[in-house]
């Protein structure tokens, strides 16, 4: 397809490109019911996450601040945030994730986290969401309407917005797709977000958060469950091929525990900006 000779950057519809790229991705977006089922295991695996520590180290946190955590999951960020700020509002469309968050908060006697069940496409004002000093969207930008999502984040931030967006192929392993005979198309990643923000007149800063390439599983069964979530609806033949692939990636064993070296280290782009004082 040729580009008309008079086309300029302002003519590009980044939201349309985002939606087109989403149609071509080879992985299935998870719905609220999928995350409900995953809630407890996800919460357990992400407790004390090094990703959370890396991200929080970049935030300008003080005890008087309020934080909105959009797509909070079971509280991967909400809990360490709650120890550093006045209050946290955790929003997620999965009732199971929020229930896991509330159970942990009750067990740990944490009282400064409010939970709201809601989605990107909902009317946030009707949900009772109010502007917060810092608004965060961490690994939760798999949205249908990128422009609307970014507008909401900016609108509900009084001070800063922080977005942790994936750098392809994160969080997927192309080798696992190939081993099972499945095509891999990454879909849109952080570069669409950057360009969309530019078209909105927002010029963010970017930090790269890179995790370890090696990942430890309690046993092969846990590894297969983890990768099965990535690939979804595997046949018996595909599962056998996946196990063979994962076995080939093992670099260390300790009893049943295995350490697998991923094809690519997970990398996330931390995209952030400070709102101007005179900005609406």
Sign of the torsion formed by the C-alpha atoms of 99, 136, 265 and 216: negative
How far is Cα 38 from Cα 30, in angstroms, rounded to an integer?
Answer: 10
Task: Band the pLDDT of 231: cuts 50, 70, 90.
Answer: confident
Query: pLDDT for 171-211, tens place per residue?
Result: 999 999 999 999 998 889 999 999 999 999 999 999 999 99
Query: pLDDT for 111-133, tens place per residue?
Result: 999 999 999 999 999 999 999 99
Q: What pLDDT sits at residue 2?
A: 61
**Per-residue pLDDT at 150 exceeds 70:** yes
**Per-residue pLDDT at 245 exceeds 80:** yes
Q: What 3-state class would DSSP assign to 193?
A: helix
How far is Cα 184 from Cα 177, in angstroms, rounded to an integer?
Answer: 6
The predicted model scores a pTM of: 0.89
**Per-residue pLDDT at 39 exceeds 90:** no
**Per-residue pLDDT at 35 exceeds 50:** no
Task: Among 20-29, 78-87, 95-104, 183-192, name the one with the lowest average pLDDT.
Answer: 20-29
């Amino acid at each position: 397809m040729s580009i008309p000779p008079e086309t300029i950057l302002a003519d590009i519809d980044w939201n349309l490109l985002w939606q087109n790229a989403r149609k071509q991705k080879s992985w299935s977006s998870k719905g609220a019911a999928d995350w409900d089922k995953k809630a407890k295991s996800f919460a357990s695996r992400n407790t004390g996450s090094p990703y959370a520590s890396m991200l929080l180290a970049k935030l300008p946190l003080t005890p008087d601040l309020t934080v909105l955590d959009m797509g909070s999951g079971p509280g991967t960020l909400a809990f360490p945030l709650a120890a550093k700020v006045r209050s946290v509002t955790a929003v997620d469309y999965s009732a199971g994730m929020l229930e896991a968050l509330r159970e942990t908060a009750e067990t740990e006697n944490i009282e400064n986290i409010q939970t709201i069940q809601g989605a990107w496409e909902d009317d946030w004002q009707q949900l009772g969401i109010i502007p917060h000093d810092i608004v965060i969207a961490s690994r939760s930008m798999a949205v249908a309407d990128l422009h609307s999502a970014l507008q909401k984040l900016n609108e509900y931030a009084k001070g800063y917005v922080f977005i942790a967006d994936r750098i392809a192929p994160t969080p997927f392993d192309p080798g696992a797709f190939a081993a099972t005979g499945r095509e891999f198309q990454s879909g849109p990643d952080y570069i669409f977000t950057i360009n969309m923000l530019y078209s909105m007149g927002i010029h963010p800063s970017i930090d790269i958060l890179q995790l370890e390439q090696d990942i430890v599983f309690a046993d092969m069964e846990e590894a297969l469950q983890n990768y099965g979530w990535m690939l979804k609806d595997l046949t018996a033949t595909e599962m056998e091929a996946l196990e063979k692939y994962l076995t080939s990636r093992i670099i260390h064993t300790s009893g049943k525990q295995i350490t697998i070296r991923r094809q690519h280290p997970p990398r996330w782009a931390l995209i952030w900006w400070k709102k101007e004082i005179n900005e609406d």
